[in-house]
Amino acid sequence: MKKRKIKWKTIIAALVAAAGLVIMVMMYARLKELTNQLVYLQDTTNIILSDVSGMQSNIEKTLKEEASMVENYSIEVTDMDFAGKNYEVKATVIPKEYSEDTTVSVYFGTVECPLSLEGYAYTGSIKLPLNKSFDGNVTFLLANGKKKSTEVLEDYDGLGMKLGSVLSGRLEYAPTVKEGTLSLKSKCSFALEGEKQFQFESLELVALLDNEEIWTQNLFANMTQDPDETAENLQESVAGQQVEQPESERQTPEELLPVTSYASDMKCQFSYSLQSEGDEGLDQPAGDDPAEPQVQPENAMQKDHRIRLFLRAVSSDGYRFEYDVFRGDYRANEQKLDPESFDWTAHSVAYDRKGNALKLE
């Protein structure tokens, strides 16, 4: 009889444990379901908040546009004077409403640029200092009799660039002199950035010997695809693999010019004789198998020389930028370059369309 009581207790305990386990499994399943619902609710809430924020931004933008007195405007740089250290901008404003008595001015800071009516737009020009962009500090003033209204251009970027950042680069190795021949064999890295202000038709690495140009290399020569596009736009996906554009679809460097920005590196190489009899040296293209070294008059070896290597970029509207990548001296008595004279400092100069120079920082 005692053994039977123990057995029943065991069975009841097992049933209770099983029931508890079932209840726990059901509660876990329910908790997981509630967690998934909560995550879904949070995602939905975030989407709704994002949509509301977007709608609010659109409403604010629409209200600003409706409250604006200006239908359209443009402010563009038309000229740069590096001698006077100023640049000229042309402003064009189309008011939403105007009459014969309406006058319009644009203020760059506290400097006024009066506009005159030409057709349906008010236009005018003004010269501004190169060291000021007037970013966010441009105001329209519209006057109709005694009624005057102002509007600040919050999205105006000014000149929007630093001239010193247009062109940059470096050489991996310095030139050398061996047996009277000046040689360069180095990788040249460079970057050109017009920042929507300049478009460039040429980019070269130039060598000067005592301010005389003895060699140039076209750095646009290897450009076969639009430098303003990203690599993703220059490749197509086929069966999950990336393949380059067909050769027939690639454009030549001439077809791609002018360009706004370009960055790359390439091998630069030349030889120039400092002590050969015969004719004076002529420009020689770089290559893996250079032609006979260029020559200078026989007495050229008897004096010291100043060597300068620099990048030169010319824009389609006539502005020129130069960026030094190496300067050094050749010592005639030692018949070699003087390492102590090597200057790797980034000297940078810009020239306007009249040839006026501006040293850049």
Mean pLDDT of 155-176: 82
The model's pTM = 0.67
- Position 302 pLDDT exceeds 80: no
Give pLDDT tens digits for 22-64.
778 778 777 777 787 777 777 777 776 665 565 555 444 443 4
Residue type, 228: D
- Residue given tokens 């000067």 in the structure block: 208
- Position 308 pLDDT exceeds 60: yes
- Position 94 pLDDT exceeds 60: yes
Yes or no: say if 221 and 342 are a contact pair by the CB < 8 Å rule.
no
pLDDT score for 286: 43
pLDDT score for 175: 94
- Band of pLDDT at residue 233, cut at 50, 70 and 90: very low
Residues 6+ apart with CB under 8 A from 277: 295, 298
pLDDT score for 351: 95
pLDDT score for 288: 42
C-alpha angle 73/77/82, rounded to 5°? 160
Name which of 17-21, 78-82, 328-332 the model is least confident about: 17-21
- Position 144 pLDDT exceeds 90: no
Residue 13 or residue 102, greater confidence: 102
- Position 348 pLDDT exceeds 90: yes
Radius of gyration of the chain (CA): 35
pLDDT score for 1: 46
Q: Can you tell me the distance from the alpha carbon of 356 to that of 320, in angstroms, rounded to the nearest whole number?
A: 10
pLDDT score for 67: 52
Q: Can you tell me the distance from the alpha carbon of 131 to that of 11, in angstroms, rounded to the nearest whole number?
A: 93
Mean pLDDT of the residues in the chain: 77
- Band of pLDDT at residue 269, cut at 50, 70 and 90: very high
Give pLDDT tens digits for 182-202.
999 999 999 999 877 889 999
pLDDT score for 52: 56
Helix (H) / strand (E) containing 44: helix 2-67
Residue 215 or residue 60, greater confidence: 215
Beta strands in the chain (DSSP E): 70-81, 86-95, 102-108, 111-118, 121-129, 138-144, 147-152, 167-171, 176-178, 181-193, 200-209, 212-218, 235-238, 241-244, 261-273, 305-315, 320-331, 336-343, 348-351, 357-360
pLDDT score for 116: 92
Domains of the chain: 70-152 (2.60.40), 163-229+249-360 (no CATH)
Q: Can you tell me the distance from the alpha carbon of 338 to that of 305, in angstroms, rounded to the nearest whole number?
A: 10
Mean pLDDT of 308-313: 96
- Band of pLDDT at residue 251, cut at 50, 70 and 90: low
- Position 314 pLDDT exceeds 80: yes
- Position 230 pLDDT exceeds 80: no
Q: Can you tell me the distance from the alpha carbon of 248 to that of 254, in angstroms, rounded to the nearest whole number?
A: 15
What whole-number percentage of the chain has pLDDT above 90?
31
Q: Can you tell me the distance from the alpha carbon of 75 to that of 145, in angstroms, rounded to the nearest whole number?
A: 26
Name which of 96-110, 127-141, 240-254, 260-274 the model is least confident about: 240-254
